[in-house]
Chains A and B, each alone.
Chain A
């Protein structure tokens, strides 16, 4: 399986949530200005990044996304005043949860883009693809970084959890 991954460069699929007022407009601007980015990025428009329910992110990973981006207005520029900050709180928590599920934190990233920052957003899309590509396909429950530490501690319970998670994956 690993051999196959190494042979052809893996083309990940990244789902990016955008807010209606800033980042979606930035994506429109990138389009109008014909700024190129990889076709593996697909956008979902929401009214505000604060609308992002953690289940949307889990659904995206479960449906085959290799990376998920949460994009929205800059913290002080939210169309709904402060709601993107509430999204940020959830982002940090969700990222930790995802890590526990064996999803590398790099696969879930956030980016701010004002309606005028089409170029920056396109650049970020390109960067995200390059970050996710080497990680290869999503592997639930692999826990690559956490596992050795737990083993070193010799925690039987944790070891059992690990085995259980691997079974799920």
Chain B
């Protein structure tokens, strides 16, 4: 302990956590504790302890006491991932007067006990990682978190119910919000629905007051028919560019009277709001309660844009608001935080070819059914076949279309069981038709969900357990001839153990939810990560469900994964609460992980100058040296690795720390200690079968 002691005399305390049996079940923690004292003593370890739960207040006090009594100046905790408890132990060090950054967490749970089974090998690996931590912490220096002011404004992307909730919550607290929506109106999918399960609230009745609040709120700026094209900066100080697509009218003059829509001669199918079963004009307001109330002109279907004549809208517009030469406009927004509430897409039922959607007229998707059952929809709330007049006598509702299916999406879309039962209720209510529900399992775990399931059964809906094989109009049996013009649902009734062919008039495919088609692209634009399907990944799936891996970027609603309206609202409000908590602190503490240039060693070669995507590196022409702006530097370390002179250092991840860690990890294994490893691996064969 004398010869190897470095100049600043590190006094390292080592703490090995059992995590109950999570670690102690696989790693011999007592052996690790003793090994650390014995083998790492020459590297500055002066105390080594183990404890059942280091993160408990008693465990933390153990560290604090040692810092005070033994004069520790470095702490290594061998426990869980730093993403779990780094803050906890840094806090303990700080309370005892030790700089938080002189604490190092070594993950022997996620990286050892949970991924290995051989106790001897796992213990050896825990020791190696611990040695890496000790040699790393020796090179650590005290750091102070960087304090940056936080911009009070928030950018909310997506104007569905989750985004509206987040925007209104923040605005109500007195802070500015920019709400960006790519459709002409806010409201999202919820605006398309008629009723909501299980309470059968009218969706419009509960949504439109929220939409009006958002639209009229003095703290909310709406950017509808717009998209975020670029985001730069970092938490507290983001810069977002928003493209306003032309509506072809001057919203300052437009009164929203609707005369243009009435007089427009171009009538086209509305694939968006009306889900393809209704019509709109070339200049249109997607639905009567749209917020903002201004219409939008669709140049792809406009006669003027096609032939150069018409201008009916312009002629009839009393305030003269139509602007057929309007161009896209880009605005730049400065915001401190971002909420991504970009929602979902409905699964395209055409992909399940045997169900005949798009081929058989009377096979409908759930979104089409929503519009049909909506009183303000294309059929005025009448549930009718594709001919527009015939009421169905028998309706089949097929669950899990595109969900829980290896060929499409493996996950459960969470809302379709309840949605399907809502459909069954609405069909019964509107038409008194016989309704079949074809399901795999009924998933009704929410508040009052199972009671609704019971109610729908009591209403006479017939539940058939089995995945539908095919929907066809090809009749096979003689008795089916009487069913001319009808559809046959071929299904294995798994409760009765029978193959059944059930004739129906109408089939409703309860399609699953999937990420927006550009989810990956959006994730890249905002610097966040999403799953392979495209759902945004939370910072922690349980404990931090609305934050993303990127500081200052939050997520809400179905962009995180399939969920119902109450959950979307809750996540929107949760994201708002997280942001409000930050705004009210007025400044943010950022991890002090930054590149620092030693001007005396910089040769001015400028190799690093083009490497920084955050423009944090500038060149001082007078001194002929490169400089790093710590406020812009994000701490990736690319320039550090690239500097041929070794003039750039990295706080928190310095070369000395990393090289120390590498040396520590390999010091007692591999080439240096070849006998230990084979012995460790040989053990499982000795265990009797």
Tell whether A and B belong to one assembly.
yes
A30 within 8 A of B: yes
A59 within 8 A of B: yes
Note all chain A residues with C-beta closer than 8 A to B650. Answer: 51
The interface stretch among B110-118, B176-184, B475-483 is B110-118
A42–B131 Cα distance when bound, in Å, is: 12
Q: Is the CB of B655 within 8 A of A53?
A: yes
Q: Is the CB of B613 within 8 A of A52?
A: no
Smallest Cβ-Cβ distance to B124: which chain A residue: A39
A69 within 8 A of B: no
A42–B110 Cα distance when bound, in Å, is: 12
Q: Is the CB of B524 within 8 A of A77?
A: yes
With A32-B114, A59-B659 as known contacts, state yes or no: A81 contacts B670, CB within 8 Å. no
In the assembled complex, how far is the CB of residue B664 from the closest CB belonging to chain A, in whole angstroms?
9
In the assembled complex, how far is the CB of residue B670 from the closest CB belonging to chain A, in whole angstroms?
3
- The B-contacting residues of A in range 11-47, CB under 8 angstroms, are 11-13, 15, 21-22, 24-25, 27-28, 30-32, 34-40, 42-47
A9–B83 Cα distance when bound, in Å, is: 36
A2 within 8 A of B: no
Could you say which of B537, B638, B681 has the most chain A C-beta atoms within 10 Å of its C-beta? B638
In the assembled complex, how far is the CB of residue A119 from the closest CB belonging to chain B, in whole angstroms?
11
Note all chain B residues with C-beta closer than 8 A to A22. Answer: 529
- The A-contacting residues of B in range 42-64, CB under 8 angstroms, are none
Note all chain A residues with C-beta closer than 8 A to B550. Answer: 79
What 1/0 flags go to B75-110 for Cβ under 8 Å of A? Answer: 000000111000000000000000000000001011
Chain A interface size, under 10 / 10 to 19 / 20 to 34 / 35 or more = 35 or more
In the assembled complex, how far is the CB of residue A147 from the closest CB belonging to chain B, in whole angstroms?
23
Q: Is the CB of A39 within 8 A of B529?
A: no
Note all chain B residues with C-beta closer than 8 A to A39. Answer: 112, 116, 118, 121-122, 124-125
What 1/0 flags go to B645-659 for Cβ under 8 Å of A? Answer: 000001001010011
B288 within 8 A of A: no
Q: Is the CB of B655 within 8 A of A48?
A: no
In the assembled complex, how far is the CB of residue A122 from the closest CB belonging to chain B, in whole angstroms?
7
Q: Is the CB of A31 within 8 A of B636?
A: no
Note all chain B residues with C-beta closer than 8 A to A38. Answer: 116
Contact among B122, B537, B637, B674 with A47 in the assembled complex (CB-CB below 8 Å): B637
B523 within 8 A of A: yes
Q: Is the CB of B641 within 8 A of A15?
A: no
Note all chain A residues with C-beta closer than 8 A to B666. Answer: 13, 15, 42, 60, 63-65
Note all chain B residues with C-beta closer than 8 A to A15. Answer: 662, 665-666
What 1/0 flags go to B517-528 for Cβ under 8 Å of A? Answer: 000000110010
B490 within 8 A of A: no
- The A-contacting residues of B in range 618-676, CB under 8 angstroms, are 634-638, 640-642, 650, 653, 655, 658-659, 661-663, 665-667, 669-672, 674
Q: Is the CB of B678 within 8 A of A11?
A: yes
Q: Is the CB of A42 within 8 A of B132?
A: yes
Q: Is the CB of B593 within 8 A of A28?
A: no
Q: What total of chain B residues lie within 8 Å of the partner, measured CB to CB?
A: 62
In the assembled complex, how far is the CB of residue B72 from the closest CB belonging to chain A, in whole angstroms?
23
Note all chain A residues with C-beta closer than 8 A to B83. Answer: 24-25, 28
With A34-B115, A44-B132 as known contacts, state yes or no: A117 contacts B532, CB within 8 Å. yes
In the assembled complex, how far is the CB of residue B288 from the closest CB belonging to chain A, in whole angstroms?
41
B549 within 8 A of A: yes
The interface stretch among A82-90, A95-103, A149-157, A159-167 is A82-90
Q: Is the CB of A21 within 8 A of B549?
A: yes
B12 within 8 A of A: no
With A25-B83, A80-B636, A86-B638 as known contacts, state yes or no: A116 contacts B549, CB within 8 Å. no
Smallest Cβ-Cβ distance to B550: which chain A residue: A79
Note all chain B residues with C-beta closer than 8 A to A44. Answer: 132, 658, 661-662, 665
Contact among A8, A21, A37, A50 with B638 in the assembled complex (CB-CB below 8 Å): A50
Contact among A30, A64, A114 with B669 in the assembled complex (CB-CB below 8 Å): A64
Contact among A35, A56, A138 with B671 in the assembled complex (CB-CB below 8 Å): A138
Q: Is the CB of A31 within 8 A of B662?
A: no
With A42-B128, A46-B653 as known contacts, state yes or no: A80 contacts B110, CB within 8 Å. no
A146 within 8 A of B: no
A104 within 8 A of B: no
A48–B640 Cα distance when bound, in Å, is: 11
A137 within 8 A of B: yes
B254 within 8 A of A: no
Smallest Cβ-Cβ distance to B674: which chain A residue: A137
Q: Is the CB of B672 within 8 A of A64?
A: yes
Q: Is the CB of B635 within 8 A of A115?
A: no
B229 within 8 A of A: no
In the assembled complex, how far is the CB of residue B340 from the closest CB belonging to chain A, in whole angstroms?
15
In the assembled complex, how far is the CB of residue B128 from the closest CB belonging to chain A, in whole angstroms?
6
A131 within 8 A of B: no
Smallest Cβ-Cβ distance to A81: which chain B residue: B613
- The A-contacting residues of B in range 600-625, CB under 8 angstroms, are 611, 613-614
In the assembled complex, how far is the CB of residue B132 from the closest CB belonging to chain A, in whole angstroms?
7
In the assembled complex, how far is the CB of residue B628 from the closest CB belonging to chain A, in whole angstroms?
14
Note all chain B residues with C-beta closer than 8 A to A48. Answer: 636-638
Note all chain A residues with C-beta closer than 8 A to B635. Answer: 47
A32–B640 Cα distance when bound, in Å, is: 33
Q: Is the CB of B115 within 8 A of A31?
A: yes
In the assembled complex, how far is the CB of residue A37 from the closest CB belonging to chain B, in whole angstroms?
6
Note all chain B residues with C-beta closer than 8 A to A122. Answer: 115
Note all chain A residues with C-beta closer than 8 A to B121. Answer: 39
Q: Is the CB of A51 within 8 A of B653?
A: yes
A60–B658 Cα distance when bound, in Å, is: 10
With A42-B125, A55-B659, A60-B666 as known contacts, state yes or no: A31 contacts B114, CB within 8 Å. yes
Q: Is the CB of B636 within 8 A of A51?
A: yes
Note all chain B residues with C-beta closer than 8 A to A137. Answer: 671, 674
B677 within 8 A of A: yes
Smallest Cβ-Cβ distance to A48: which chain B residue: B636
Note all chain A residues with C-beta closer than 8 A to B125. Answer: 39-40, 42
Note all chain A residues with C-beta closer than 8 A to B670. Answer: 12-13, 63-66
| 16 intermolecular pairs with C-beta atoms under 8 Å apart | A27-B110, A28-B81, A28-B107, A37-B115, A39-B121, A40-B677, A42-B132, A44-B132, A47-B593, A63-B666, A63-B667, A64-B672, A65-B666, A80-B613, A80-B638, A122-B115
Could you tell me which B residues sit within 8 Å of A by CB distance? 81-83, 107, 109-112, 114-118, 121-122, 124-125, 128-129, 132, 523-524, 527, 529-532, 537, 549-550, 593, 611, 613-614, 634-638, 640-642, 650, 653, 655, 658-659, 661-663, 665-667, 669-672, 674, 677-678, 680-681
Could you tell me which A residues sit within 8 Å of B by CB distance? 8-9, 11-13, 15, 21-22, 24-25, 27-28, 30-32, 34-40, 42-48, 50-56, 59-60, 63-66, 73, 76-77, 79-83, 86-87, 90, 114-117, 122, 137-138
Q: Which 9 A-B pairs have the closest CB atoms?
A: A31-B110, A51-B637, A64-B670, A50-B638, A64-B671, A80-B636, A63-B666, A48-B636, A53-B641
